Amino acid sequence: MPTTNKEREMRIAQRRVEGFAQQFGEAHRNLARHAAFPLVLTPDLLYQIWANFVPEAPWTAVAHVLLSRLCRQVGYEMYEMDIGDRNLLLRELKGQFGQARFDELGEFLLDYVAQRLTDDDVDTRDLREAQEWTALTYTKPDEAARELALALSQRVHQQDVGEVLRLASLVETLAEPLVEAGFEPLLVYSLATKSFIFGKLEDAVEQFEEILDEESQLWVAGVSLPVPEQIISAILESKEPMVRYLQASEPGLTRIEQAIKIRRWEKVDKRWIEAAKTSVENLENFWNILEIPEDDFIRICQAVDVDWRDIIFRGGHFSTLRTKIKDAEILKATLRDLGIVVKTEADVRGYNGQRVRSDVVAVLEGEYDIGWNQNSDGSYDLIADLWGVGKNHNQMELIRAINYKYAVNKTLAELKQRGVIKKMKCPRCTSTQIGKYGYFQGKQNYICRNCGTQFADF
């Protein structure tokens, strides 16, 4: 099986950390774990971390960490870790000491920043903000998400491209704790904004489309995030209105025949076509009990003073909608995330026992399902008896929820592949279908949706 980028980067990070520990010992490794907490390191900051949290390590460990392959110099006496190494070390730190150590480090870092980074120049301000948001993200993610969203909103309104890119990159760096706290939309917004700035309009539209509400707005932690007018226009233009099709029932046609007999019209009468503002083809299909667009169906009935609701065939029908879904595995994971039973190569249930075969099926409560079939271009069409689904569900809200969750999961999968976010696996069956399941002894508890095994954060 081919090795993914994420697996390769994880192995590289593991080798670097293990190599460092073998060269210098476990005490040095423990200092490296603590050093991973700040976004940017300086010799003085790391010395303070050593003195306050890892005094058992020799003082020379400060230099050994900064000058090792775990860190790279990004400015005068400023160092940072590769994101893969950093996330690995932070997971080790939390596994060894729990959330309590994160809280202690967060309080320490905030105090340090307040005392040492007091200059008003732009670089110092940016560093101060980055360190403060890092501390908050791991200790008070709700507060961090709100502050990051406010800052992004302000910079976008000011059209400060450089600052927007800096903040978007910071959000991506802090992706793991933000996602764990439920702020995936902030991450997707940051990625979409970067795509827009770099001229990747198609990617930006797709990313924005799945996180915006019906009013083309996005709220994160109580903050409204601005969306470029060009994106909103492109989304509105790309949305194909869902055309509903109706067909008449045989008893309904009998009523129609009576109505046109009074008017002395023929079944395909020119006067009728003009009054209904429809076409000959639609009227012929109407009489042949074939589906025609809902608007035409209603006008045909109104033209002869018949209530269209009294003559429609209420047997339902399967409608097909185009989607932007292209990954069946992410789709199935999305449906499971939403608590929906998933089947593959199964039948989609419709009215009166009607069924149609689909590649992926969402088994819904009641007598109707939703399915997806793959096209030759790799995309999937949604197929369902929407009239029937509407009996127990708000069809459009359900479909929108699936599309939104799919877009978020797709973004997270891409980040996991790049090693930005850890892909958790079940310790028993190695499945990655993991969900949060309360807390155990102060640590996040998880459950495997595949085998039911529960395990605590590590």
What CA–CA distance (Å, rounded) separates 109 from 94? 17
Query: What are the domain boundaries of the chain?
Result: 5-233, 248-310, 319-417, 424-458
Overall average pLDDT of the 132-154 stretch: 93
With cut-offs at 50, 70 and 90, classify the pLDDT of residue 418.
Answer: low
Report the share of the chain in percent with pLDDT over 90. Answer: 46
Token pair in block for residue 353: 């026992």
Identify the pLDDT of residue 264.
93
Per-residue pLDDT reduced to its tens digit, 68-122: 999 998 888 899 998 889 989 999 999 999 999 999 999 999 999 999 888 888 8
Q: Which of 339, 399, 397 is nearest to 365 (CA)?
A: 339
Overall average pLDDT of the 35-52 stretch: 94
Identify the pLDDT of residue 20.
94
What CA–CA distance (Å, rounded) separates 407 from 246? 32
Identify the pLDDT of residue 3.
45
Residue ranges with strand state E in 184-293: 218-220, 223-225, 245-246, 292-293
Overall average pLDDT of the 334-349 stretch: 91
With cut-offs at 50, 70 and 90, classify the pLDDT of residue 408.
Answer: confident
Q: Which of 455, 418, 415 is nearest to 438 (CA)?
A: 455
CATH for the stretch 319-417:
3.30.310
Contact 48, 112 (CB under 8 A): yes
Token pair in block for residue 24: 């210098």
What CA–CA distance (Å, rounded) separates 198 from 98? 39
- Bridge partners, 357 (sequence order): 347
As a whole number, the mean pLDDT across the chain is 85
Identify the pLDDT of residue 456.
67
With cut-offs at 50, 70 and 90, classify the pLDDT of residue 331.
Answer: very high
Identify the pLDDT of residue 458.
44
Task: Please say if the pLDDT value at position 167 is more than 70.
Answer: yes
Q: Which amino acid is present at 213?
A: D
Per-residue pLDDT reduced to its tens digit, 189-223: 999 999 888 888 888 888 888 788 877 788 999 99
The model's pTM: 0.59
Task: Please say if the pLDDT value at position 383 is more than 80.
Answer: yes
Task: Please say if the pLDDT value at position 457 is more than 80.
Answer: no
